[in-house]
Amino acid sequence: NAGVTQTPKFQVLKTGQSMTLQCAQDMNHEYMSWYRQDPGMGLRLIHYSVGAGITDQGEVPNGYNVSRSTTEDFPLRLLSAAPSQTSVYFCASSADGTYGYTFGSGTRLTVV
Amino acid sequence: KNQVEQSPQSLIILEGKNCTLQCNYTVSPFSNLRWYKQDTGRGPVSLTIMTFSENTKSNGRYTATLDADTKQSSLHITASQLSDSASYICVVALNTNAGKSTFGDGTTLTVKP
């Protein structure tokens, strides 16, 4: 039982490049979320999903796209990377959206 | 605006001592409040979860309290250990949108020998 798996763990992008951060969970959780955490700050919600085929915007969605074609996977796409997107990105999942979110170990992204 | 404010921002204590972290929130309508521990470079790990009807919840040396009337919660750590050094995050969930929660900025706790 791997829980929530995020790949890659580290990534360096050039401004303007695009990429996809992967998130997979094997707990059959319906709810999945993406957060970013800037140095010394709290987590901010980017996008979330309450089930396959359903996504919605969080607090800071600009510059990011998501899709949820399966229950297991919830990839986050950066359309055109900017230095302001340098951050640590966390994916989390939950059975019912309110209790017991399980977090992945994070992806540390640097945009130069 | 739904907000979660934590205090203090940082705290240094000696090993073996107790400490209490505070969380005040304005999230409404309220569903539940969670405390997470985040070690440096790791994802948050859940410590306690409380609904509005619960006043206290314990997890080993961690005890969370909740006053839904005053919208305040505290996390008390007993007999601190070096491994308690981490960021402690208070998270409050709306009962009208299960996918959204509001995160506090966390309290950074350092336990020194």
| Chain centre distance of CA A98 | 17
Report the C-alpha gap between A26 and B94 in whole angstroms.
26
CB contact under 8 A, B98 and A41: no
CB contact under 8 A, B32 and A98: yes
Contact present, B109 and B86 (Cβ < 8 Å): yes
CB contact under 8 A, A92 and B89: no
Contact present, A95 and A29 (Cβ < 8 Å): yes
Q: In 10 A of CB B105, how many CB atoms?
A: 17
pLDDT bracket for residue B31 (50, 70, 90): confident
Q: Answer with the residue of higher pLDDT: B69 or B18.
A: B18
Q: Answer with the residue of higher pLDDT: A28 or A2.
A: A28
Say if residue B98's pLDDT is above 70: no
Nearest CA in chain A to B105: A42
For residue A42, the chain B residues in CB contact (below 8 A) are: 89, 103-106
Report the C-alpha gap between A56 and A44 in whole angstroms.
14
Could you give the C-alpha distances from A16 to A13, A19, A26, A64, B102, in angstroms and in order?
Answer: 8, 10, 33, 13, 30
Strands B107-112 and B86-94 turn out to be: antiparallel
Q: In 10 A of CB B62, how many CB atoms?
A: 17
List strand residue ranges (DSSP E) for chain B, in order: 4-7, 10-14, 19-25, 30-38, 45-51, 56-59, 62-67, 72-77, 86-94, 101-103, 107-112
Reported as type and span, the H/E element at residue A35 is strand A31-37
Largest CA distance in chain B: 45
CA atoms within 13 A on the CB side of B73: 35
Closest Cα in chain A, distance from residue B3 (Å): 12
Q: Tell which residue, A33, A17, A14, has the closest CA to residue A97.
A: A33
pLDDT tens figures, A11-70:
999 999 999 999 999 999 999 999 999 987 889 999 999 999 999 999 899 999 999 999
CA A15, A19, A23, A24: dihedral to nearest 10 degrees? -170
pLDDT tens figures, A62-98:
999 999 999 999 999 999 999 999 999 999 999 887 6
pLDDT tens figures, B59-88:
999 999 999 899 999 999 999 999 999 999
For residue B37, the chain A residues in CB contact (below 8 A) are: none
Which segments of A47-99 does DSSP mark as H helices, in order? none
Name the DSSP class of A84. Answer: G
Say if residue B3's pLDDT is above 80: yes
Report the C-alpha gap between A75 and A97 in whole angstroms.
18
Average pLDDT over residues B2-8: 90
Average pLDDT over residues B46-58: 91
The pLDDT value recorded for residue B96 is: 66
